[in-house]
Structure 1
Amino acid sequence: MSVQERKERERASRERLIVATARELAEQQGWDAVTTRRLAERIEYSQPVLYSHFRGKREIIGAVALQGATEMAAAVRAATATADSPHARVTALAHAYLDFAAHNPAVYDALFQLDGGLPYAREDTPEPLKDAFAALLETLTEAAGPSVHPGLFTETFWAALHGLATLTRAGRLPPEDAEQRVELLVNRLAAP
């Protein structure tokens, strides 16, 4: 292995450590607790080393968001892969999405609430974000039916899921009715 390859591997390892540490800190204490000073202390590198990887917190949030998008896409695909009907796939998608949001609040915030400097719904949207949308689209295209544009249907269904995730987490919706909300959403928007 060349010196250059070793340096690149070490750099990639440091970058993964920074992202993992930021994510862990955000999940434990919220994004306000994530500062370059705290991250530098936790990973035992200087702040200039952090800045050699990321220009600041915004880019770190973006890196966490991209990692989260990949994980969310995998979770949705895994949940829908074993469902035996279109209705069951849409229900599994809804549960996977809402479970991801509930179990990864800091990542979910990085994806959809905070400014990570990532472009959405554009040509230059990063591949992990496009793939997360594609994971939804794959299941929801069939549910859209022939008279509705699949992309528009997916955006609408996703917006409803996002609203449920956000309002539930904020305590605005009683958690005991969560299953009924999913059933209502699926039955109304993705009826066979």
Structure 2
Amino acid sequence: MTCPEELDPTRLLTPRAREVLAAARAVLERQGWEALTMRTLADELDIAAPSLYKHFASKEALRGQLAALALKEFGEAVRPVTTVAALVRRYRDVATAHPQLYRLSTSGPLDRAALPPGLEDWSGSPFLEATGDPHRAQALWAAVHGMVVLELDGRFPTGAAPEATWRELVRHFS
């Protein structure tokens, strides 16, 4: 399901700012947040670094846009909600397909003022739809998030997230 237009973080960006955002995402996914500098981004776009500031005031402003974009894409990826199992599978798939974007948007402080009002709630609402209770929804998201991070970090003893553990998580919340 597509994100409502009024929540789309890119709707007010100029075409050039969207191009900068796409290039920033490409560098992020290839090299990680620490490697993404305004200089590396300018090199990616083959432009002078100072011209980036016409579109984004700072690297942190760019981070806010990337986090908002992630919330939009993750929210779209898990809809429509049919079952807890389908929600968890889709969430896991999109997070592991875009690990750097996932980490950027789900770890550390979130600049909520940089998000379109309502985007964070819209993005997380599938967890509420699946569980029917706001606290249970947060618990499910926290469990799924923790499992995704363990999987991304290779922290399960087998080196990969055991499917039996994912099934148990789903069973517990279904």
TM-score range, shorter-chain basis?
A: 0.7 to 0.9
Divergent runs of 4+, >4 A: none
Judge conservation of contact 1:58–1:115 (CA < 8 Å) in 2.
no
Choose the corresponding residue for 1:155, options 134, 138, 151: 138
Judge conservation of contact 1:69–1:132 (CA < 8 Å) in 2.
yes
Instruction: Compute the TM-score of the two structures, normalised by the length of structure 2.
Output: 0.83
Shift of 1:140: 2.2
Whole-angstrom distance in 2 between the partners of 1:115 and 1:152: 21
Shift of 1:65: 1.2
Q: Which runs of 5+ in 1 are unaligned?
A: 1-8, 84-88, 142-149
Radius of gyration: which is bigger? 1
Judge conservation of contact 2:127–2:140 (CA < 8 Å) in 1.
no
Map of 1:19 onto structure 2: 21
Whole-angstrom distance in 2 between the partners of 1:175 and 1:138: 32
Shift of 1:187: 1.2
Judge conservation of contact 2:96–2:148 (CA < 8 Å) in 1.
yes
Judge conservation of contact 2:150–2:161 (CA < 8 Å) in 1.
no
Structure number with the higher helix fraction is: 1
- 2:166 maps to 1:182: yes
> Highest relative contact order (Cα 8 Å, sep 6+), 1 or 2?
2
Map of 2:58 onto structure 1: 56
Choose the corresponding residue for 1:100, options 84, 94, 97: 94
Local SS of the residue matching 1:172 = coil
Map of 1:139 onto structure 2: 130
2:154 is aligned with what amino acid?
A: G
Whole-angstrom distance in 2 between the partners of 1:106 and 1:18: 17
Aligned pair count reads 162
* Cα 1:135–1:189 shift into 2, 3 Å: closer
